[in-house]
Amino acid sequence: MDTTLENDKNVATGDYFLLATRKWDDKLEDYLPVDDSSTVTQAFNEYSNAENAYFSMRYEGCPQAGGKDVKIELLHMRFGIPHMVRNQILFP
């Protein structure tokens, strides 16, 4: 899993926002899990920064997609438990 910290700051381990780009797996007939090595993630301390990154996502910016759909999820991570905030599917 690739994680990018916002502005090189340490992200609070108990409370942060995670933007995950998950690719489609034909065998699973579902999107790969967030903790899969192919899932690209970015961590943010501030919701506004995470939301801006979420709405800025474009299919062309997802090189791991490989011509398949990708699912973009904005998660609020609270003490290691993910809570869905927003999600969208981007198509080629």
Q: What is the pTM of this model?
A: 0.78
> 60 or 85: which carries more pLDDT confidence?
85
Minimum mean pLDDT among 8-12, 56-60, 70-74: which range? 8-12
Q: Predicted confidence band at 87 (pLDDT cuts at 50, 70, 90)?
A: very high
Pairing of strands 30-31, 15-25: antiparallel
Domain that holds residue 82: 2-90
Q: Predicted confidence band at 9 (pLDDT cuts at 50, 70, 90)?
A: low
Which tokens go with 73? 């999820």
Check residue 22 and give its pLDDT: 92
Count of domains for the chain: 1
Question: Distance of CA 16 to CAs 12, 19, 27, 85, Å?
Answer: 6, 10, 32, 12
Burial pattern 66-88, b for ≥16 Cβ within 10 A else e, equals eeeebbbbbbebeeeeeeebeee
